Amino acid sequence: MAGIDYSERIPNNVSLADNRRLQRALEEWHPKFLDWWMQMGPDGFQAKDVYLRTAVSVDAQGWAQFDYVKMPDYRWGLFLAEPEPGRTIGFGDHMGAPAWQDVPGEYRGVLRRLIVTQGDTEPASVEQQRHLGRTCPSLYDLRNLFQINVEEGRHLWAMVYLLDAYFGRDGREESEALLQRRSGDRDKPRILGAFNEKTPDWLSYLMFTYFTDRDGKYQLASLAESGFDPLSRTCRFMLTEEAHHLFVGETGIGRVVQRTCELMREGKTDDVRRSGAIDLATLQRYINFHYSVSLDLFGSEISTNAANFYTMGLKGRFEEGKKRDDHRLKDTTYSISELIGDRVTSREAPALPSLNERLRDDYIADCQRGLDRWNQIIKKHEIDQELSLPHRGFHRAIGLFAEVKVAPDGRVLSEAEWGARKHEWLPTEADQAYVESLMQPVTEVARFANWIAPPARGVNGRPVDFEYVRLA
């Protein structure tokens, strides 16, 4: 890799040109990243021109430049949001002290673990989505998939930057390990559960970008409150990119719902499988699955880790700065779920260890907003059905509800009842086989697979029939 001018090759606003040590670390890491990208990134499209957005600076003109680029040539930049002059720590025991510009020694291990956990999700999602290109429903969707993939790659760079710049040798080792774990691998899996699940088809992918990327939004927003200023600024910039990923999920599922409703109306039937679309009941089962595995990503209802992250000033609440309380939370409580026998109730718990649950509550409210919009589409077609979020205890593997089986309506079930009915609530093998059978690639300009409606508009003011990926 000699001869590459890294400060030029890697657009950045972290004064890379002045930091020889960091440059050297990145020079060593870059070829390994590229190897990983070629091995585990989008399969079969690395030599194609894709109409992508690249951030070349953080200002309004520079952060969203669109052009054709081959993915391995994408410029994975290092960007921090602009510093806030005089920023102080906004919560926890160090509240009011100047934000840390370097790693506070006593929190080094904890902070590294948080950054590694965040960083690990980014390559994991690229791995999960690597085969989807071959079955894309349109060039528009293919381009959005690749946009997300390169940006998750950039988010990995963002975390590797923090590890390399602030954590010395340990950080460099962690940067390497981020390229060695593999989604779903038995021996070296990714850290968090949802990132070891398969994303085998485009419906799963759209659900993932709606539900799982939204966990990303909430976790990044909490880390953006961090007293460790480089992490805060990195996450603030990442959130600008995250918005597009969520847009892809929300509009994507909206377009599936739209197409389903059109065919329900035309055929006067709920059974749109006959017309090659995805019926609402199947959509509901996919929602149930992706929502529940994403709820697990917030950790346990009661977590001393979460209390410590907050008290230490490392990870805040969602929109911490807008909250009007003491930002220490030592004397307050928060309402969390409780199981009494087979009844789900709630109880007041100390606020600090309940912070995971509070963030999960913010997330749930946000998830519901999309459901409301999809239900509007159904209503517009004068169809008397609704999609809904299952109860938070449904199909959970982490926390209080991992111990029990809960129906979508919140009833606690016996193992036998769960076994007899789970096929009504979670995608079955037959559902998966049916959805897979729909995954036939559509790659002609302006054409869309039958199971998804075209988008309302194209990308960056381009028409829907623009050649978003040049396959020839």
Q: What's the half-sphere exposure (Cβ side, CA atoms, 13 Å) at 352?
A: 18
Q: Where are the beta strands (DSSP E) in 322-386?
A: 333-340, 343-350
Least CB distance to ligand BYC at residue 264 (A) = 31
- Which of 12, 294 has the CB closer to ligand BYC? 294
Spatial separation of the C-alpha atoms in residues 200 and 213, rounded to whole Å: 17
Q: Which residue has the tokens 């086989």?
A: 433
Least CB distance to ligand BYC at residue 184 (A) = 13
Least CB distance to ligand BYC at residue 298 (A) = 6
- Which of 121, 175 has the CB closer to ligand BYC? 121
Task: Give the DSSP H or E segment for 405.
Answer: strand 405-406
Closest residue to ligand BYC using C-beta atoms: 299
Least CB distance to ligand BYC at residue 153 (A) = 10
Spatial separation of the C-alpha atoms in residues 381 and 387, rounded to whole Å: 14
- Which of 115, 407 has the CB closer to ligand BYC? 115
Spatial separation of the C-alpha atoms in residues 277 and 75, rounded to whole Å: 38
Least CB distance to ligand BYC at residue 20 (A) = 30
Amino acid present at 146 = F
Spatial separation of the C-alpha atoms in residues 146 and 468, rounded to whole Å: 10
- Which of 114, 469 has the CB closer to ligand BYC? 114
Spatial separation of the C-alpha atoms in residues 172 and 165, rounded to whole Å: 9
Spatial separation of the C-alpha atoms in residues 145 and 193, rounded to whole Å: 22
- Which of 227, 454 has the CB closer to ligand BYC? 227
- Which of 193, 441 has the CB closer to ligand BYC? 193
Closest CA to 276 of 452, 451, 427: 451
- Which of 180, 440 has the CB closer to ligand BYC? 180
Least CB distance to ligand BYC at residue 286 (A) = 16
Written as one string, the DSSP assignment of 15-38 is: -GGG-HHHHHHHHHHHHHHHHHHH
Say which DSSP state 395 is in: T
Which residues are near ligand BYC by CB under 6 A?
A: 114, 117-118, 121-122, 125, 152, 192-193, 212-213, 215-216, 219, 296-300, 303, 305-306, 315, 356, 398
Least CB distance to ligand BYC at residue 2 (A) = 32
